[in-house]
Amino acid sequence: MLFKITFNLDGTGVYFNPNEPVHLDALLTWVLAPRQGQRDLRRDQIPGLVKLPLMRNHIGGEWVWAASALMPEGPAEESIQYWRKRFRQFRAELTEGSPNLKNATYRDWQMPLPLLLTNTLVAYANGNRKECKKLLRDVKYLGKKRAYGYGKIISMDFDQVAYDYTMVKDGLATRWLPSAEGCRLVRCRPPYWHPHERKNSCDVGCSFGR
């Protein structure tokens, strides 16, 4: 079944990087991986396949889950706030030399926090809508800095649709897609951060001909 998921947010902002948007299949993998016995994956370990309630799309000799990245829908504004990154005093014994509070190890840093002010993020999928809805109940926040209260999900809507935007919408990629001409090196499937089996892929939002 083709369906659209609307994540309704509280409007205080979500840490959103358009160059590395959250992918729907990554959210489902985050929920299901521990249930399927895959925990504490390291970079030197080969990731196992986490079975998701989604169909598969085949492209360029590879396959990807039939699920798009999360993108804003409706009015959205960019904003930048800052948070204070302080020196970890409990790790002082690991440092060497005299303390210098103006730079390097001992300095406090004013770190930018890019926020997207929007009430909704949407994603498209092809699969078992009922099962996806059940699994996504465990997802309460989106993006980074969740401990600060950003990206809080108020509710989710699951609507059946007649169009397939799981890979491309209006000629633009809606997720990372393997492509020989792609400039991004990333896995075709979650976990996307892992270096194993990375492929050249196009970025989300780039022109993509099928």
For residue 182, name the pLDDT band (cuts at 50, 70, 90).
confident
Which uninterrupted H or E stretch holds 112?
strand 109-118
Core vs surface per residue 5-19: b (16+ CB within 10 A) or e: bbbebeeebbbbeee
- pLDDT: which is higher, 31 or 99: 31
pLDDT at 39 over 80: yes
pLDDT at residue number 180? 87
Burial class (CB in 10 A: 0-12, 13-18, 19+), 43: exposed
How do the domains of the chain map onto residue ranges? 2-202
**CA 43, CA 194: separation in Å to the nearest integer?**
6
**CA 146, CA 14: separation in Å to the nearest integer?**
9
- pLDDT: which is higher, 74 or 96: 74
Contact 7, 70 (CB under 8 A): yes
Average pLDDT of span 41-45: 89
Q: Phi first, then psi: what are they for 88, rounded to 5°?
A: -80, 100
pLDDT at residue number 103? 55
Average pLDDT of span 113-127: 92
**Under DSSP, is residue 131 helix (H, G, I), strand (E, B) or coil?**
helix
* pLDDT, tens only, 2-28: 999 999 999 888 988 888 899 999 999
Q: What is the pTM of this model?
A: 0.84
